[in-house]
Amino acid sequence: MRRILCGLVCSLVVANFVLADDPKESDYYPITSFEVPEGVVLEASSFQLLDDDKLAVASRRGEIWIVTDPFASEVKASQFKRFAHGLHEVLSMAERDGWLYVVQRSDVSRLRDSNGDGKADEFEVVCDDWEISGDYHEYAFGSKFDREGDLWITLCLTGSFSSKVPYRGWCVRVTPEGKMIPTTSGIRSPGGMGANAAGEIFYTDNQGPWNGTSALKHLIPGKFVGHPGGFEWYRLAEDVMGPRPAEPESGSRFVVEAEKIPEYEPPAVLFPYKKMGQSASGIACDLSHGKFGPFEGQLFVGDQTFSTVMRVVLEKVDGHYQGCCIPFLEGFGSGTLGVELSPDGVMFVGGTNRGWGSRGKSPFAVERVNWTGKVPFEILSMNAQSDGFELTFTQPVDPSTAGDPESYTLETYTYIFQSSYGSPEVDQTLPEIQSATVSDDGLSVRLKVDGLQRGHVHELKLPGVRNADGLPVLHPEAYYTLNYIPQEDAKTAVE
């Protein structure tokens, strides 16, 4: 009943709300900060919705708190109750059959409250078949349960460059029976995991050795995703992974090595460094059927350093995921880490700046994002074509501005695939936008481009495009990672 009344009130407010001439992000997606109990340092790393509209919030400090009525207009400290403590850096949670599953540094465990007093009193280790050396860098991130009931776990390398103990630098799966299955090699430093609308698992990896910039990567059983530091453990996993792949050539390019190494799956989306962020983090997919706005099926990805959430639009070309990233929302109180989207279209965002720093000045934060009901004028998607790109928009465009090639700018670049830390932008080009054709309904524009560059980020800006009311695009830039160029003109399917 509370949610129904809130929805009616929000609808009335929206109906009488007139946007200013210069719209802001908060006109569409305001951020609400939760009041955390005094003296509690809640570096919110992940979330899990529970029965009775309760929300579990995990902390890097090994605590789990339960929030009653997290959808209330204001969330007070009195709504928090500590459910568990003494865990080891919980970075992910999932729920099944009354148990709360947690991924901590050393294992997957599950816990529950058996006597109904609001505190966990049963703790069971589900799987601890990987190892830790004690190095600070050995984070472990997990997914929600996949369609087979498995949890996918990404295990950070030891100290960024190497793997001192088994399966550091790997993705593994943990079955409902607690069996660990080595799944994908090449992990460096994950920041979050999540499934797309099709249920396939992705993770964010961060700039460093063999990672010229942060990226979103598709986890495919048997594949290698870029960092060879954990190759030693193929000797323990040949029965499920096959033989060890060839090591990539340092100084090469992603798509060049993908042609040479069959097991290598290049990044699906590159996040341009210091443009879209510096430390990619949590992932959430919008499955709210329009309750969070027009972005159904898209991924929302955090960035810890920039204290932001961005949008990612994926498609499949030649059997591989690729796509674009677009800014979405900035101004979170701390460094974005955990991101969760409820079926009712409410986003929860957790933050911390411990050890890394962030644009958000608070040391930690627990926050919520609601949609006001107003649709912003945005690039909805950017899809590769054989001779350019097709843009779709959330509102009809003004044909005179959107149909003018001078309303757009386009440049390309890529990153060095190398063993040293990070990479500058390299191999820059300036393709020519030859034409911009607006659809009859005004919701899409076909850009014909001379000079597409396979393997490059295509940085598109739309400074001159306006909608039918003369307003500019709220976020007039998109960054498309063009690993594969479609051979046909037809729009490829968005996943």
Query: Which part of the chain is CATH 2.60.40.1220?
Result: 379-482
- 423 vs 405: CA distance, rounded Å: 31
- Give the burial string for 292-330 (b: 16+ CB within 10 Å, else e): bbbbebbbbbbbbbbbbbbbbbbbbbeeebbbbbbbbbb
- 179 vs 126: CA distance, rounded Å: 8
Query: Which part of the chain is CATH 2.120.10.30?
Result: 26-370
| H-state helical runs in 338-451 | 399-402
CATH of segment(s) 26-370: 2.120.10.30
- pLDDT tens digits for range 63-113: 999 999 999 999 999 999 999 999 999 999 999 999 999 999 999 999 999
pLDDT of the residue at 488: 75
Q: In this structure, what are the phi and psi dihedrals at residue 261, rounded to the nearest 5 degrees?
A: -115, 105
- 102 vs 93: CA distance, rounded Å: 5
Length of the chain: 495
**Residue 77 token pair:** 């400290």
pLDDT of the residue at 354: 85
Rg (CA), the chain: 22
Amino acid at 263: E
Long-range Cβ contact pairs of 97-102 (< 8 A, separation 24 or more) = 100/48, 100/50, 100/56, 100/64, 101/126, 101/142, 101/151, 102/58, 102/64
CATH of segment(s) 379-482: 2.60.40.1220
Contacts of 235 (CB under 8 A, 6+ apart): 244
Which residues in the chain come in under a pLDDT of 50? Answer: 1-20, 490-495
pLDDT of the residue at 489: 58
Handedness of CA 324, 333, 50, 85 (dihedral sign): positive
Contact by Cβ (8 Å): 197, 177: no
Quick one: which of 136, 229, 218, 139 has its CA closest to 183?
A: 218
**Residue 279 token pair:** 């430390």
Q: How does DSSP assign 272-338, residue by residue?
A: -BTTTBSSEEEEEE--STTTT-S-TT-EEEEETTTTEEEEEEEEEETTEEEEEEEEEEE--SS-EEE
Contacts of 202 (CB under 8 A, 6+ apart): 193, 194, 195, 196, 216, 217, 218, 219, 268, 283, 299, 321
Handedness of CA 480, 482, 484, 489 (dihedral sign): positive
Q: What is the pTM of this model?
A: 0.94
pLDDT of the residue at 160: 76
- 410 vs 474: CA distance, rounded Å: 18
- 283 vs 193: CA distance, rounded Å: 6
